[in-house]
């Protein structure tokens, strides 16, 4: 099966072509047009600007992806598109573009949950059987999922406030580093001392897999203000130390909560126990290493997608579309874009369904 995937739920416009068959899966092309520069003057993603940019760029991304794959629309089996959750204007741009392509070509249309895209990515790149444990850590989400099938997820726990990616972005902002904050903080942390600052490990004393990250960002803000009060500014080394301490605190929390989630997962007695991590924060090497070490200790296979497939991309959408299609599902022109779409309600919304 060869699918075109479209993604436009946040601030990346993306199109990709993925082929899946008995011989394995191949990403034939993956084009991502970021909007970082457009939103930079505003200190965050502006939904209206994002939606316009998606509407302008989607066609070009599709054209570029098809050209890179050396295929025409008629060579494809279906069009998969993110139908939510996300910024509604962007999701609508994607869904409308996909409907146009499907109507014009006569190809089936498959609506995909963006989070399912992240959560199924490890199966695009690795031979990973169900059920596996997924830690989905991104800019807007943080949850432990038991992935029983392409559309069957059960949630073990997650953040009760900010997502870690959001905490990385806010920490970067507080420390005067560029957006997206994750890579910037990780770069600074490399030369910082993790022990120079004591930051909290929220909710570690509570049982279960729930997490909290908003207090961490407040602690960084307080520490920064203390340094500024003392030194009249933020010395480079102190900034690096704060980044290192922050990253370590996030890694500690994810490590300990993953240990608990693994316990719950192992109770299912999976034949091939595996922990997979996905989402933008899974690109962080300190976090990847900690989870890898945890899995090595517990005899569980650890899988993390390559960095380009951790952050938003359309290959994951094309692939999740293939998995959904294989289950016998596709959509028609009644497919609706939805801003909220929890993973445990797997079917896309349709016009007139009252959802």
Binding stretches for Fe ion (CB under 5 A): 138, 312
Q: Which two tokens stand for residue 181?
A: 């904050």
140 binds ligand ATP (CB under 6 A): yes
Shortest separation between residue 113's beta carbon and ligand ATP, angstroms:
10
Residue 129 to residue 148: CA distance in whole angstroms: 9
Max Cα distance, the chain (Å): 67
Q: Which stretch binds ligand ATP (CB under 6 A): 14-22, 95-103, 161-169, 268-276?
A: 161-169
What 3-state DSSP class applies to 144?
Answer: strand
Instruction: Compute the least distance from the CB of residue 292 to ligand ATP, in Å.
Output: 15
Q: Where is 143: in which H helix or E strand? A: strand 142-149
What is the smallest separation between the CB atom of 85 and ligand ATP, expressed in angstroms? 7
Query: What's the token pair of residue 268?
Result: 């299912």
Termini Cα distance of the chain = 31
| Interface mask toward ligand ATP for 68-107; x: CB under 6 A | ------------------x---------------------
DSSP 8-class letter at 284 = -
Q: Which is nearer to ligand ATP, 243 or 275 (CB)?
A: 243
CB of 107 to ligand ATP, least distance (A): 26
- List the one residue from 120, 128, 132, 186 that touches ligand ATP (CB under 6 A): 186
**333 and 39 in contact (C-beta within 8 Å)?**
no
- Residue 354 token pair: 């009252």
Residue from the set 90, 139, 150, 158 that interacts with ligand ATP by CB under 6 A: 139
**Euclidean distance between CA atoms 139 and 180, whole angstroms:** 9
Enumerate binding residues for ligand ATP (CB under 6 A): 10, 86, 114, 118, 138-141, 165, 168-169, 180-183, 186, 279-281, 283-284, 311-312
């Amino acid at each position: 099966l060869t699918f075109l995937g479209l993604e436009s739920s946040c601030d990346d416009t993306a199109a990709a072509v993925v082929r899946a068959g008995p011989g394995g899966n191949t990403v034939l092309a993956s084009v991502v047009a970021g909007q970082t520069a457009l939103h930079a003057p505003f200190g965050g993603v502006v939904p209206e600007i994002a939606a316009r940019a998606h509407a302008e760029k989607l066609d070009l991304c599709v054209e570029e992806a098809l050209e890179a794959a050396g295929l025409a629309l008629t060579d494809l089996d279906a069009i998969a598109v993110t139908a939510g959750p996300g910024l509604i204007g962007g999701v609508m741009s994607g869904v409308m573009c996909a409907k146009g392509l499907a109507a014009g070509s006569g190809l089936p249309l498959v609506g995909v949950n963006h989070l399912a895209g992240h959560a199924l990515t490890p199966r695009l790149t690795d031979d990973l059987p169900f059920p596996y444990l997924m830690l989905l850590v991104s800019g807007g989400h943080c949850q432990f999922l038991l992935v029983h099938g392409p559309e069957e997820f059960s949630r073990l726990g997650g953040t009760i406030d900010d997502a870690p990616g959001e905490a990385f972005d806010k920490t970067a902002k507080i420390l005067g580093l560029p957006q997206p904050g994750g890579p910037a903080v990780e770069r600074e942390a490399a030369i910082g001392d993790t022990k120079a600052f004591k930051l909290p490990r929220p909710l570690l004393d509570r049982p279960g897999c729930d997490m909290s990250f908003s207090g961490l960002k407040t602690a960084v803000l307080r520490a920064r203000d203390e340094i500024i009060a003392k030194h009249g500014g933020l010395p480079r080394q102190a900034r690096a130390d704060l980044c290192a301490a922050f990253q370590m605190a996030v890694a500690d929390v994810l490590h300990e909560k993953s240990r608990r989630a693994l316990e719950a997962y192992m109770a299912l007695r999976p034949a091939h126990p595996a922990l997979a991590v996905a989402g933008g924060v899974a690109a962080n090497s300190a976090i990847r290493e900690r989870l890898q070490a945890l899995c090595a200790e517990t005899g569980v296979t650890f899988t993390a997608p390559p960095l380009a497939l951790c952050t938003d991309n359309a290959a994951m959408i094309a692939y999740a579309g293939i998995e959904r299609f294989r289950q016998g599902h596709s959509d028609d022109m009644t497919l609706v874009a939805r801003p909220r779409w929890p993973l445990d309600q797997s079917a896309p919304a349709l016009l007139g369904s009252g959802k």
